[in-house]
Structure 1
């Protein structure tokens, strides 16, 4: 870290959902915070008094009884919420009530109305949402390529994305992701992350027509020797119109036996861009190929200046580290570059429009 960075005031962080035994908070957020620098863990909230005591002993910071109590602490500047989606609203609102900046994981809310409630409560407070694909060096470069005319006028965007989850055996801990009413479905997680990154590159859909299906109505439980019901859609096909008239089509598939993957093709009047990833594009490396004119797309290396943490390029915390870099800089007076609660509402609006279109069989205008 540079001498200038070491002289910056440290941002006090409290993590809701930090465990002594692992999980996304300990396994991703803490390493990302450490990599970026400028943050200091100063408190936590556990899932129970016993787990809070254990986490406090492991991480060496005080455990608080609630998110509100954590946020009220004078040395906490940023509250990070890393628990299951159905609990977000009840944890985020007290932290906002204390006037503290809040980072909330994605999926942000169980539905659009809940997302709007949290965003309304956050007016005037710095907020951040875990749509870290927008902080990806590769997707930021892709957005610059499109905006700078690499493909000319965008004519169409074609997306194919697949997840092994939502159809293959599931653990007890992840059962809640099978329930459509709990907000942590394939549509919200796998498709939500992917379409958010794509939207940063080509713009927001102006309208959408959707078809969804549940092709795995029962899913095997990993331990237990029985099947459990799934009400979350495992097939999502959409099409719609982008600003300027380009057509976007996307198909998200779940429970894929042959493995996960992501691909995006942007066809334009003057060229083509292709982006592929071996899994969810917000946590795995993305390869870019491109061509001007009528040539065949060839691999294009990421230019200098985009990746601040190249040693993490193959790590699942690569994009999260870039997000925390943006959060740190914003809280210290820099520009806002990380998606916030209002951006989360925009993403939930699209998911809501997809749900309504699939239910009605009609095109929904946003």
Structure 2
């Protein structure tokens, strides 16, 4: 009997599709519907064979909408399906560990959304179980797979900016501002582990590390300047215990410095800007929102005698999922490139896509660096 690891790699090498079962693929605007569904359908080598949601009835409705015949009301049923080789966990963070455990116990490989766990302890537990299960895993830190970041990584390595002196990231988190959508209330509760710190900052930190190396001596401070947000539909106030300000600094390999500032809500000015400054030039990545993992990224650069920035077009060979548009399909774009890279990893024995061990290490870096500011100076209300 083949192990799950050899089966997944064999399928990838043979060109036979990997059967994917998605936990959390709803029919009405779920994250899985906006990202994983179009990504899977754009990358040859995968076949969406099954889905599960919170009930049998809702799963059947979702199956009808998305054209998926195998629908299940529980994750255990999906994981037991012989046609499922890879289980995708795309639900709220507090449910990740239980569902991942169910899939791993069934001998299946797992792709789990980020954050991997609700806190460091859960993430480390999931990484240990994945290691014991000896199956390929992936965690949804897809920003590093975006073609713009891949190109920036190679430009830096090729000396475009010379010696890196510093990196500065400013971003807006969206949900942790004055208003909140009716589907997003759970991110305002710090106990759920889906915060400004873990989601947009965590994705940006991982993206930066993929280009410039892992920051050392990372120090993170957070502040809660708002105590509530207004529901955009009902107008009622929703308590906010998650931080709405994140400030971080660290030292990059070679001695360069890095700093971050993430703010809740949306800014009338800058919502995402990442500058890489070097002895010979500069690179700048910008986006309309502060989530580089799900936003169109624009890359500019200037070097030598140039006194300004000019757009840099990402070469075609970095774009490995041409079926998707980086703007129109922005939520799925980096996800699709991560799926495509995961196939290459399976075929070639590489590990470019972050696995559960990497996810636990990213949790560890955030947890070790965090140093919460005093509670003073909070603003009551949005």
TM superposition score normalised by structure 2: 0.87
Native 8 Å contact 1:236 1:253 kept in 2: yes
Equivalent residue for 2:27, pick from 20, 33, 41: 20
Partner of 1:364: none
CA offset at residue 294 of structure 1?
Answer: 5.0
Partner of 2:364: 349
Matched, 1:44 2:51: yes
CA distance 1:285–1:226, change in 2 (3 Å): closer
Cα distance in structure 2, aligned partners of 1:154 and 1:326: 27
- Post-superposition Cα deviations, 1:246-304, rounded to whole Å, max 9, x if no partner, equal 11111001123527621111111222211111122222222222222353232222123
Cα distance in structure 1, aligned partners of 2:83 and 2:40: 17
Native 8 Å contact 2:341 2:353 kept in 1: yes
Cα distance in structure 2, aligned partners of 1:68 and 1:105: 18
Matched, 1:322 2:334: no
Equivalent residue of 1:63, what SS? strand
CA offset at residue 335 of structure 1?
Answer: 2.9
CA distance 1:107–1:148, change in 2 (3 Å): same
Gaps of 5+ in 1: 361-366
Equivalent residue for 1:336, pick from 330, 343, 351: 351
Partner of 1:55: 62
Native 8 Å contact 1:85 1:183 kept in 2: yes
- Post-superposition Cα deviations, 1:189-213, rounded to whole Å, max 9, x if no partner, equal 1111111111111111111223321
Equivalent residue for 1:225, pick from 235, 238, 241: 235
Matched, 1:234 2:244: yes
- Post-superposition Cα deviations, 1:35-87, rounded to whole Å, max 9, x if no partner, equal 11221122221112321232233333222343233222222110011100110
Gaps of 5+ in 2: 1-11, 375-382
- Alignment map for 1:1-366 (pairs within 5 Å): 8-58=15-65, 59-123=67-131, 124-258=134-268, 261-279=271-289, 280-293=291-304, 295-296=306-307, 297-310=309-322, 311-314=324-327, 315-316=329-330, 317-332=332-347, 335-355=350-370, 357-358=371-372
Equivalent residue of 1:122, what SS? helix
CA distance 1:326–1:6, change in 2 (3 Å): closer
CA distance 1:113–1:41, change in 2 (3 Å): same
CA offset at residue 30 of structure 1?
Answer: 1.4
Number of aligned residue pairs: give it.
Answer: 356
CA distance 1:125–1:219, change in 2 (3 Å): same
Structure 1 residues 205-214 or 289-298, which shifts more? 289-298
Cα distance in structure 2, aligned partners of 1:286 and 1:292: 20
Native 8 Å contact 1:163 1:259 kept in 2: no
TM superposition score normalised by structure 1: 0.91
Native 8 Å contact 1:11 1:39 kept in 2: yes
Cα distance in structure 2, aligned partners of 1:77 and 1:164: 35
